[in-house]
Amino acid sequence: MGPQHPSTHGVLRVVLKLDGERVIGSECVIGYLHRGVEKIAENRTYQQFAPYVDRMDYVAAVSNGLGYCEAIEKLLIVEAPPRARVIRTILTELQRIASHLLWLGTHALDIGALTPLFYCFREREEILKILEKYCGARLTTHAFRIGGLQYEAHDTFEKDVERFCKDFESRIVEYETLLTNNRIWIGRTKGVGILTAEDAIAFGVTGPVLRASGVKWDIRKAMPYAAYDQYKFEIPVGTTGDTYDRYLVRMEEMRQSRLICLQAIENVPAGPIMAKVGKVLKPPPGEVYHAIEAPKGELGYYVVSDGTVQPYRVRIRPPSFINLQAFDRMVRGHLVADVVAIIGTIDIVLGEVDR
């Protein structure tokens, strides 16, 4: 299957071993989108590399940027000012909703439900408009800078976010009306691609996939970063770890993200948006691992500094790459048609898998 199959969301080739219609083995062939991001990092300065990270998970560029900026801030031992942290949180949560919407639309489309795609893109468009208003870019945003933000939030920022959040509440209900009790949807997702909690942990799976397997773990709670420690939100978990549970978890996550945004815009602290960092960044020698809860799971940056202006090594731990590894475990014993559902439910972005 692939690498140009419409359901693989990019260039993923899956070699399937079949017994009739049943899958008895699989192997993912990846690397078609490999650009050597980690090598590029070693040949750029810390600031120069920042826009590159947007091109990994290109449907959630804001999250990539947040992880990178915070990792370098940890390396430099500086902290972004409170105002910057709150704005970062709002934008990242909006991005999470956008990413989940894209996932929902395409995942439903793969399984044969055409309508959700249009609904999802309608709302995603609103988020992209907010991002565009904020920083001028819709997808590869480069919204944050090491040390804080480059841009002050625009005048209508809070109002825009609030309006979106108000509308969005009823929109989620619309998607759920279409899918949650839909017999075809249930038939295609319930009991498909089950991943137990033990397996999920052994495979290093993170994010909604891990939570759907019943592990209540979210880095935003476990090791809070940005401004997450100030807000109240729930971590939704599943019970069986099948495709349907992963659907439910992500739906609930969108609701929670919406609540975080609403809490955050109520009280955006005033003050500077940049910490005092020099124009030339030379982090003291050493190393740091910093991870954030990206829409797809744990996005980690392991950065080694040798005291010069360029990183000595940047290792990016992409959630998609690691989660995709569990694909083989999830797909065995299922029908070929389910392969499409299972690829969709892991929510991979090949730009991030291949880097």
Partner 1 sequence: MADEPKEPQPAAVPTGEQPASKPSPVSGAPSAPAKPAAPPAPLKPPVVLQTPLNNEMVARYRVKFGAAIVDAIEDRKQAILVVESGRLEEIARYARDEEKFEMLTDLTAVDWPKREKRFDVVLNLYSFAKNERLRLKAQAADGEEVPSVVGVWVAANWMEREAFDMFGIVFSGHPNLKRILLPDEWQGYPLRKDYDILQQDTAWVRENLGIESGQ
Strands 22-29, 13-19: parallel, antiparallel or unpaired by DSSP?
antiparallel
Q: How far is the CB of 38 from partner 1 (least distance, A)?
A: 6
Among residues 4, 43, 177, 196, the one that binds partner 1 under rule CB under 8 A: 43
Q: How far is the CB of 292 from partner 1 (least distance, A)?
A: 13
Distances (CA, A) of 172 to 42, 180, 198: 43, 11, 31
Neighbouring C-beta atoms of residue 347, cutoff 10 Å: 27
Asked whether 246 and 238 are in contact (CB, 8 A), the reply is: yes
Interface with partner 1 includes 299 (CB under 8 A)?
Answer: no
Print burial letters for 154-174: b (CB count within 10 Å at least 16), e (below 16). eeebbebbeebbeebeebbee
Q: Which is nearer to partner 1, 58 or 302 (CB)?
A: 302
Residue type, 242: D
Name the segment binding partner 1 (CB under 8 A); options: 119-127, 156-164, 237-245, 267-275.
Answer: 267-275
- DSSP letters along 237-249, please? --SS-SHHHHHHH
Interface with partner 1 includes 15 (CB under 8 A)?
Answer: no
Residues 232 and 212: their CA atoms lie apart, in Å, by: 20
Interface with partner 1 includes 88 (CB under 8 A)?
Answer: no
Residue list 210-229, contact with partner 1 (CB under 8 A): 215, 217, 222-223
Determine the size of the site formed for partner 1 (CB under 8 A): 62
Interface with partner 1 includes 177 (CB under 8 A)?
Answer: no
Q: How far is the CB of 267 from partner 1 (least distance, A)?
A: 21
Interface with partner 1 includes 183 (CB under 8 A)?
Answer: no
Q: Which is nearer to partner 1, 10 or 116 (CB)?
A: 10
Interface with partner 1 includes 279 (CB under 8 A)?
Answer: yes
Asked whether 119 and 139 are in contact (CB, 8 A), the reply is: no
Residues 331 and 322: their CA atoms lie apart, in Å, by: 16
Interface with partner 1 includes 36 (CB under 8 A)?
Answer: yes
Interface with partner 1 includes 20 (CB under 8 A)?
Answer: no
Among residues 298, 338, 347, 352, the one that binds partner 1 under rule CB under 8 A: 298
Q: How far apart are the first and last CA of the chain?
A: 21
Among residues 254, 273, 339, 343, the one that binds partner 1 under rule CB under 8 A: 273
Q: How far is the CB of 12 from partner 1 (least distance, A)?
A: 13
Side-chain half-sphere exposure of 61, counting CA atoms within 13 A: 20
Interface with partner 1 includes 7 (CB under 8 A)?
Answer: no
Which residues, 6+ apart, have CB-to-CB distance to 225 below 8 Å?
70, 219, 290, 292
Contacts with partner 1 by CB under 8 A lie at 30-31, 34, 36, 38-40, 42-43, 45, 74-78, 147-148, 150, 152, 201-204, 215, 217, 222-223, 272-282, 284-289, 291, 298, 300, 302, 304, 306, 308-310, 312-313, 315, 317, 321-322, 325, 354-355
